[in-house]
Amino acid sequence: MPTRKVPGVLASFVHIDAACDAIRSLQGKGRRDFTVYSAAPNHEIEEALGITNSPVRLFTLFGGLIGCAAGFGMTIWMSRDWPLLVGGKPIAPIPPYVVMAFELTVLIGAFSTVAGMMFLAMRDGTPGLAYDPAFSDDRIGIFVPAGADQAGTLAELLRSAGATEVRHDA
Amino acid sequence: MADETTESTLDRRKFLTVLGVTGGGAAVLSGCSTDKVQKLIPYLVQSEDQVPGVATFYASTCTECPAGCGVHVRTREGRAVKLEGNPDHPVNAGTLCARGQAALQGLYNPGRVRTPLARQADGSFKAISWDDAIALLGGKLAAAQGKVAVVTGTGRGTFSDLLASWTRALGGKLVRYEPFDFEPVRAANRQVFGLDQIPAHDFAKAQYIVSFGADFLETWLSPTEYQRGFAAAHGYHDGHMARHVSFAPRLSLTAMNADRHFTVRPGSEAAVALAMAGVILAERSGAPSDASGLKAVLAAWTPEKAAEASGLSADGIRRIAREFASASPSLAVAGGVGSQHRGAVQLCAAVNILNYVAGNVGQTVLFGADLQAGDGYAVLAQLADGMAGGQYAVAIVHEANPAYATPRSLDFAGKFSKVPFKVALAVFANDTTRFCDLVLPIHHALERWDDLRPRNGVASLMQPVMQPVFDSQAAGDVVLKVSQKAGGPLAAFNAPSWEAYLRQAWAAFAKQQGSADADGFWRAALARGGVFTPVAPVSVRLAAGAAPSGWQAPALDGTEGAGSFVLSAYPTSMLYDGRGANRPWLREMSDPVTKITWHSWVEIHPDVAARMDVQDGEILMVTSPHGSIEAPALVYAGIHPDLVAIPLGLGHATLNDARGSAGINALDLLGSQPSDGFLPYTGTRVTLATTGRFHQLARTEGTPRQLGRGLSDALTLDQARKGMTPALAAAEGGGHPEEEVNTEREVQALEGWRERQQQKTQLGAYAEDHPRWGMAVDLSRCTGCSACVAACYAENNIPTVGEAEILRGREMTWIRIERYWEGGEEQGEPLEARFLPMMCQQCANAPCEPVCPVYAAYHTADGLNGQVYNRCVGTRYCSNNCPYKVRYFNWFAYNRTAFPEPLNLQLNPDVTVRARGVMEKCTFCVQRIRGAQNTARLEDRPLADGDVITACAQACPSGAIAFGNVKDDASRINTVARDSRGYHVFEDLNVRPSVTYLARVLDPVEA
Amino acid sequence: MAATVHHAQTHADVTRDVVATLGTPGRGYNLMLAAAVSAFLIGAGTFVMLLKDGLGLAGYSPPVMWSVYITTFVFWVGIGHAGTLISAILFLFRSPWRTAVYRATEAMTVFAVMTAGLFPIIHIGRQWFFYWLLPYPNSRWLWPNFKSPLIWDVFAISTYLTVSTTFLVVGLVPDVGAARDKMTGWRKQVYSMFAFGWKGTQHQWRHYTRAYLYLAALATPLVLSVHSVVSWDFAMSIVPGWHGTIFAPYFVAGAIYSGVGMVLTLLIPLRKALKLEHMITEYHFDNLCKLTLLTGSILFYAYAMEYFVAWYSGNTFEQTTFWRRAFGPQWWAGWTMIICNAFVSQLFWFRKVRTNLTALFVISIFINIGMWFERWVIIASSMANDFDPWAWQVPVPTWADWGILLGSFGWFGMYFLLFARTFPVVAIQEIKEMIPMPRKGGAH
């Protein structure tokens, strides 16, 4: 079933500085709940929004640690579980098992990173926001959730900031 | 139908009588063979000597050559699976050669005659019942009025006696035919000693052995026995070894085991022997008084003359003559098939004189034994003429293949075909049975009651070890039944069965041996394998005509001229007279000298090759006045430039194995004229022509030089006496001295490192106390004969892969004999061979194990490199990492192609038959180890030294291989392996192999 | 930065041009695809024969137990490395020139490793039991032998395949989003699916950019480790010519060298076919060539060092191996490797060569051949003459070897061609990232 559309004002910008002005003035109005669309990551926008580092790195770290432990644990346990002597070498030598530990570190680290990214992006995002295909092309979009009452003033604000196109959909 | 008859003859009473006699009969109960599987009878009454899963051994006699070695037949569930030497037997004393091992592949050969066959009007064969066959033959014999010719290939024994009296009763003619009849030896003994005998030779006793082309390690008289004696004398033991010098035009396996081999001009050996005799007689006293009569004659045969004739140095001949005389007793031998030229009798006579003047007769040359041999080629040729002349109405050929084994120029087949009715009593369909009107399948030696008297004092028994594989009968039964049918003079031969007849004969023998209890005598003989009595040596003196008429180069037929060579058609130790051609093992096991498998070749000298611009494998056309053959060239530095050598044994029309080329028969080039009653195998002139076509040589040899890698090490006699290790000797010889490669600090760092590593391996089963198996191979005893290889094939179900795969180097020989050449590069430098039996070294730090991703290769608790076939996925990394290259991969489903029915019946049930795509290798016969351990456990005793013996060690006629538990300090393996000559191949790799090699000892002889 | 993309480009142009490559393919493309598929079918047929009759069909002659299959395996693994190097390492180094080419090279990586992954299975004696190399609980609770370099291989290759695939897919998401927004009808549906709901909101970008960075960081050591592990398949053994400490760096350099070679072979025709000349420019090829020159020179050094060590060690086995490598029965292979790798790469000292695409293409072919032979020489010619002279043999490849080799190129080409038509081969969003957005008053 389709997600319920969120009512609000959707503005589209050609110029980057215009978009940043709009963001700042919205923040001036104490709005934090708006969403900015861009076709590529953009530092000016990030600065305007005051974006901080993503916690996804924690997922990477712990994924990696788990992988490393798994690598050593598996190899050593399996060697001792059924001891078989080969080439006069110790039953469970550490040096060769570093390889397995390393590979699993990378593998599980990578998986948890992707998982973390998906989880966080879903947590922060809101479904059902208005969107315009142009945003993945050369436009910057700003959507401000708003009822019919605030729509007018917001539209005015965005237009004054330099939005080339503003529409309100309920 | 066919097998109904055999079944019906087997009523309960008969069965019980058989069983009463010997366990051999029990095979009847449990025996399985391809065409009787549906008639398997369960054990109602468990016979006491047939325990499922436990091997039963029967004593019997080998019939693969006239030597008559005793064998123990290992049977499982009533099926012969392995032949082993009979330790009680005087001839081979528990060892067995490659040909003997392969007798099993004769028993189970797909090419055997499966039922009686009668020729139809349209020339095709039709299977008929035994009754009809007997009736048919009986009728013909009755009508033949004595015009009967009989050719038998069987050795001297009760059956040949029966055949003799039978033929006499018929008024026919009997020929006992052995292609290799050693007639020259016999003739020379007649001439020199007036004694029509072949003596026994005591190599073990000899201090100095000179061979004039007698290949006593290959096919001469009694090779297995002689190899045993030779190893005992020539193998280095507490500071001593006999010298072995060889004079021959070709470097044979025997010559390769000489301390010095002299390549002499073909036919000139006699001159050398006479000269030596002359020197001894002139210079030394102590020769028998009657020899002085020879002085005058021999004086004419100066070493100078001999040197001129043979192309050697006179001083050399003198020196060797003196050494020969001073090292008493010594032994000179001659008369090998390969050197049977028209002067062969002269040569043997000269050698007899040499032995006589050196006082060896009665010491190492022992008359009285009279080794058996055939009647000689001349007799057969005569018979053939008789056949052509219409003298015979019926011709019977029994266990012989004269149509193949005689020169094409004799046209035996043609003459034979002129006989109105031709019968073959044959085990295999061969080149002679093709021309017969009636072919009767007879029992293989392992299926029948029989006996053999290979020499005086040896009466060797054979007994049926299993149910016949096919619908065959004992030749003796056929003769007796036919006699009854034919009646007349033959009616006298009326024993109830061949077995009964044999028992009668043995009852008489028992009486003669002074035994009252014939049954007991018989049982004891069966158990022991025969009756062996010492023979009083017959002392001999020179006969009247002993003095040599003098020497001249033997006559050759064919025209002398530019580009003409002397042909030597010689027998190989694998194929013998050609009866090996249908045994896959003998075809695939490389010839010990050339390492060629499966096909024929022509040996030419490098100079000749250079002159004709011929390379290995280029097909040459060899033409003699009597015919021509085409075979690939082998450029071989071991032969005299005047000589062209072609091995005998291939080129059969029917007897063959499809996975190799049929090859050619060198006999096609020979003339049919006998010389002094024998066939001169060397003595035809041939010319060579290139064809421009190639046949890649299917060789198991990669690179025949050691490249200074010290694989097969050798010491001089002095070095060995000084107790030098090979490493020390190498250092002395300017090689790399032993030196510490690590720095002081490294050495300290390594301190106790191995112990610490060991600690980390003590887990699970590895923590317990186990034996550690080791092997030692004495290279001064190993002659490269390859008996061990055959034994390994038989014991471990090793598949043969065929010629095409050999070309890709894919042979599966778990143990292989590496033959390296030394010297022979500059002019005059002698070409010497080194042998190295190479099998899995069962390394303690095995490089093959850790690289296996699935633990298919792992270390067993008792120190073997285990290989789990079921677990193997075939990454082949283990083989890459094996420095000895002793791991073999199943590239195809060899197990499907190598054992065509009924050959599969030979497979050893104790050993897995490996499937496609898995790696396999030598296991130190782990099945035998576990078997012995279980027996010990059942008998509640610790494993004793010698309880376990590997197949290779058991077979080795030289006793070169020792095996045992190295943790047991008293074990034989330790005493052997601790010899100062001991070394490990590639010791520097620190893989710590369990196989120790004892360096060969060389006793160099200057020319 | 200016040189990285053509000046007169706006975000709109980028989207348009790249998405244009996803249109219906032309005749040339179809022909190439057909060729690739039929090559693959030949390989598949050969494999069926191997399954039916056994490995004996291939030209193995003991002691040469590994030949064309393992050679080709290492060849394809090597190819992969350039892709990850360009996409991951150069990303961390913020090297701008990678942007235009990394997507294509990364795709090459994934497909090359996919191809390589087939060979360990094809080459074993009982292919149907390949899974015994995996540590799964079987009926006997018997585990694989982690001391075996082949098990390291299993882990290294499968990790490499998974991570580089993930990296590729993650990189694709925003571009697929962009493509989706340009599409209509069923295509839109499909791309929407693969866009995973990508909208380009500031939250998505926040986590995405970070995650991508860490993925790059994780993929980076793989570039060095995977081929090191592959090299240990040989270096861990005692075979003369294999048992060398130099192997890991030597193999990694070789891998990147061969990879870049393959990148050139693929990109030069590709940019033409997809009309991307203004995005993938001389500048990129120039840099690729410099990378080739570097790695090629490292190889040169490695070859020289191998011979030096063989001589200096005084070890007769090593010496024989290397003597025969140059003058033995397979001398021609040895020299092919040295000429194509050590010498040909030195041509890149000249700017003229680096900027002449025709020359580049020809040279890249030489590089591919040379690197295949390098592996052949190391593997087959070393094994052909190791410790025991009695066992020496010279391997002769058969139709079964060539069939599988051909098939592997078909298999790789098939996937690469399909990818090039289905997904943006140039990273839209990363290029946009480098094009400054318009400002009020049009000032850039």
A43 and A98 within one domain: no
The rounded distance, in Å, linking the Cα atoms of B351 and B178 is: 24
Give the minimum alpha-carbon distance from C243 to chain B in angstroms, rounded to a whole number: 10
Give the minimum alpha-carbon distance from A37 to chain C in angstroms, rounded to a whole number: 4
A108 and A63 within one domain: yes
The rounded distance, in Å, linking the Cα atoms of A142 and A158 is: 9
B359-391: string of b/e by CB count within 10 Å (b at 16+)? bbbbbbbbbbbbbbbbbbbbbbbbbbebbbeee
Whether chain C has a CB inside 8 Å of the CB on B42: the answer is: no
- Residues B196, B186: contact at Cβ < 8 Å? yes
Rounded to 10 degrees, the C-alpha dihedral A132/A136/A139/A143 comes to 50
- Residues B972, B945: contact at Cβ < 8 Å? yes
Which chains are within 8 Å of A by 3+ CB pairs?
B, C
Task: For chain A, count helices (H), then strands (E).
Answer: 5, 4
- Residues B119, B421: contact at Cβ < 8 Å? no
Structure tokens at B136: 């048919």
Nearest to A39 by CA among C424, C92, C4: C424
Whether chain C has a CB inside 8 Å of the CB on B845: the answer is: no
Query: Which residues in chain B (906-945) have CB-CB distances under 8 A to chain C?
Result: 916-919
User: Phi-psi region for residue B371, left (φ > 0), alpha (ψ -120 to 50) or beta?
Assistant: beta
Structure tokens at C98: 């990678």
Q: How many CB atoms lie within 10 A of CB A70?
A: 16
Q: What value does the mean pLDDT of chain B take? A: 88
Q: How many CB atoms lie within 10 A of CB B204?
A: 16
Identify the pLDDT of residue C110: 94
Identify the pLDDT of residue B739: 63
Residue A2 lies in a domain: no
Q: What is the pLDDT of residues C359-408, one digit of tens each?
A: 899 999 999 999 999 999 999 989 999 999 999 999 999 999 999 999 99
Q: What is the pLDDT of residues B986-1006, one digit of tens each?
A: 988 889 999 999 999 998 887
* Partners of A120 in the β-ladder: none
Q: What is the pLDDT of residues B164-217, one digit of tens each?
A: 999 999 888 999 998 898 888 988 998 888 888 899 999 999 999 999 989 999
A chain contacts of residue C230, beta-carbon cutoff 8 Å: none
Q: What value does the mean pLDDT of chain A take? A: 87
The proportion of chain B whose per-residue pLDDT surpasses 90, expressed as a percent, equals: 57
- Residues A26, A170: contact at Cβ < 8 Å? no
pTM for the model: 0.91
Of C181, C204, C214, the CB nearest to A113: C214
Structure tokens at C256: 């990147």
A112 and A74 within one domain: yes
- Residues C220, A102: contact at Cβ < 8 Å? no
Instruction: Give B464-530 as a DSSP string.
Output: --SS-SSS-B-HHHHHHHHHHHH-GGGGG---S-HHHHHHHHHHHHHHHTT-S-HHHHHHHHHHHTE
- Residues B323, B280: contact at Cβ < 8 Å? no
Q: What is the pLDDT of residues A62-109, one digit of tens each?
A: 999 999 999 999 999 999 999 999 988 888 999 999 999 999 999 999
B674-689: string of b/e by CB count within 10 Å (b at 16+)? bbbbbbbbbbbbbbbe
The rounded distance, in Å, linking the Cα atoms of C321 and C335 is: 14
A63 and A47 within one domain: no
Q: Which residues contact B91 (CB under 8 A, 6 or more apart)?
A: B67, B68, B69, B70, B222, B224, B225, B454, B455, B458, B460
- Contacts A–B by Cβ distance under 8 A: 49
H/E segment holding residue B87: none
- For chain B, the residues whose C-beta falls within 8 A of a C-beta of chain A are 757-758, 760-761, 763-766, 844-850, 852, 855, 857-859, 992
The rounded distance, in Å, linking the Cα atoms of C213 and A10 is: 31
Q: pLDDT class for A2, splitting at 50, 70, 90?
A: low
Q: What is the pLDDT of residues C78-91, one digit of tens each?
A: 998 888 888 888 88
A100 and A143 within one domain: no
Structure tokens at B650: 């291939």
Complex ipTM, two decimals?
0.91
The rounded distance, in Å, linking the Cα atoms of B59 and B526 is: 7
Higher pLDDT, B162 or B827: B162
Using the predicted structure, report yes or no on whether residue B11 has a pLDDT greater than 70: no
Of C211, C432, C436, the CB nearest to A39: C432
The rounded distance, in Å, linking the Cα atoms of B277 and B294 is: 9
The proportion of chain C whose per-residue pLDDT surpasses 70, expressed as a percent, equals: 97
**What average pLDDT score do residues B876-892 get?**
94
Q: What is the pLDDT of residues B936-955, one digit of tens each?
A: 999 999 999 989 999 999 99
Residue with tokens 């599980």: A108
Identify the pLDDT of residue C186: 86
- Angle between helix axes A16-28 and A148-161 (nearest 10 degrees) is 140
Residue A82 lies in a domain: yes
Q: Which residues contact B209 (CB under 8 A, 6 or more apart)?
A: B203, B230, B233, B234, B242, B243, B244, B245, B330, B331, B332, B333
A chain contacts of residue C1, beta-carbon cutoff 8 Å: none
Q: What is the pLDDT of residues B558-587, one digit of tens each?
A: 776 667 899 999 999 999 989 889 999 999
H/E segment holding residue A10: strand A8-13
Using the predicted structure, report yes or no on whether residue B4 has a pLDDT greater than 60: no
Structure tokens at B317: 């001949």
- Residues C59, C395: contact at Cβ < 8 Å? yes
Q: What is the pLDDT of residues B248-264, one digit of tens each?
A: 999 999 999 999 999 98
A157 and A114 within one domain: no
**What average pLDDT score do residues C160-188 get?**
89
Q: pLDDT class for B15, splitting at 50, 70, 90?
A: very low
Whether chain C has a CB inside 8 Å of the CB on B992: the answer is: no
The rounded distance, in Å, linking the Cα atoms of C337 and C335 is: 5
Nearest to C81 by CA among C256, C334, C277, C324: C256
C chain contacts of residue A136, beta-carbon cutoff 8 Å: 15, 174, 177-178, 180-181, 200
Residue A111 lies in a domain: yes
Strand, coil or helix: what is B461?
Answer: strand
C chain contacts of residue B989, beta-carbon cutoff 8 Å: 238, 387
Q: What is the pLDDT of residues A136-166, one digit of tens each?
A: 888 888 888 888 888 888 888 888 888 888 8
| DSSP character at residue B186 | H
Of A80, A82, A90, the CB nearest to B761: A90
Of A86, A89, A91, the CB nearest to B763: A91
Nearest to B348 by CA among B526, B244, B236, B193: B193
Structure tokens at C421: 């038509």
- Residues B534, B633: contact at Cβ < 8 Å? no
Q: What is the pLDDT of residues C212-260, one digit of tens each?
A: 999 999 999 998 899 999 999 999 999 999 998 899 999 999 999 999 8
Q: pLDDT class for B311, splitting at 50, 70, 90?
A: confident
A64 and A116 within one domain: yes
**Alpha carbon separation from C41 to B226, C44, C76, C130, C409 (Å, rounded):** 63, 5, 19, 22, 11
Which domain does A80 fall in, by range? 56-123
- Residues B730, B736: contact at Cβ < 8 Å? yes
- Partner-chain contact A83 B765, CB within 8 Å: yes
Using the predicted structure, report yes or no on whether residue B27 has a pLDDT greater than 80: no
Q: What are phi and psi of C416, to 5 degrees?
A: -65, -40
Identify the pLDDT of residue B34: 47
The rounded distance, in Å, linking the Cα atoms of A2 and A22 is: 30
Identity of residue B801: V
A46 and A64 within one domain: no
A90 and A78 within one domain: yes
Lowest-pLDDT choice from A123-127, B345-349, C250-254: A123-127
Cβ burial of B514 (10 Å; 0-12, 13-18, 19+) is exposed
Query: Chain B residue with minimal CA distance to A84?
Result: B858
Give the minimum alpha-carbon distance from B810 to chain A in angstroms, rounded to a whole number: 26
User: Phi-psi region for residue B651, left (φ > 0), alpha (ψ -120 to 50) or beta?
Assistant: left
Structure tokens at B36: 């009787």
Residue A32 lies in a domain: yes
A31 and A12 within one domain: yes
Q: What is the pLDDT of residues B824-875, one digit of tens each?
A: 887 778 899 999 999 999 999 999 999 999 999 999 999 999 999 999 999 9
**Alpha carbon separation from B887 to B816, C53, C365 (Å, rounded):** 11, 21, 39
A108 and A65 within one domain: yes
Of C12, C215, C221, the CB nearest to A137: C12
Of C10, C159, C199, the CB nearest to A103: C159
Using the predicted structure, report yes or no on whether residue B473 has a pLDDT greater than 50: yes
Give the minimum alpha-carbon distance from B90 to chain A in angstroms, rounded to a whole number: 45
**How many separate domains does chain A show?**
2
**Alpha carbon separation from B916 to B798, B865, B879, B892, B974 (Å, rounded):** 13, 21, 16, 5, 38
Of C11, C159, C202, the CB nearest to A138: C11
A101 and A42 within one domain: no
Q: Which residues contact B115 (CB under 8 A, 6 or more apart)?
A: B2, B127, B128, B441, B470, B471
Q: What are phi and psi of B634, to 5 degrees?
A: -120, 115
Give the minimum alpha-carbon distance from A51 to chain C in angstroms, rounded to a whole number: 7
Give the minimum alpha-carbon distance from B9 to chain A in angstroms, rounded to a whole number: 57
Q: What is the pLDDT of residues B735-770, one digit of tens each?
A: 555 566 778 888 888 888 888 888 888 888 888 889
Using the predicted structure, report yes or no on whether residue B5 has a pLDDT greater than 80: no
Residue A144 lies in a domain: yes
Identify the pLDDT of residue C2: 39
H/E segment holding residue B414: helix B412-417
- Partner-chain contact C141 A81, CB within 8 Å: yes
Q: What is the pLDDT of residues C6-65, one digit of tens each?
A: 545 777 778 877 877 777 777 888 899 999 999 999 999 999 999 999 999 999 999 999
**What average pLDDT score do residues C344-357 get?**
88
Mutate to test the interface with B, among A75, A76, A77, A86 (most CBs of B within 10 A): A86
Query: Chain A residue with minimal CA distance to C148?
Result: A96
E-strand ranges in B636-716 read: 643-647, 682-694, 714-716
C chain contacts of residue A114, beta-carbon cutoff 8 Å: 166, 170, 211, 215
Q: Which residues contact B707 (CB under 8 A, 6 or more apart)?
A: C316, C320, C389
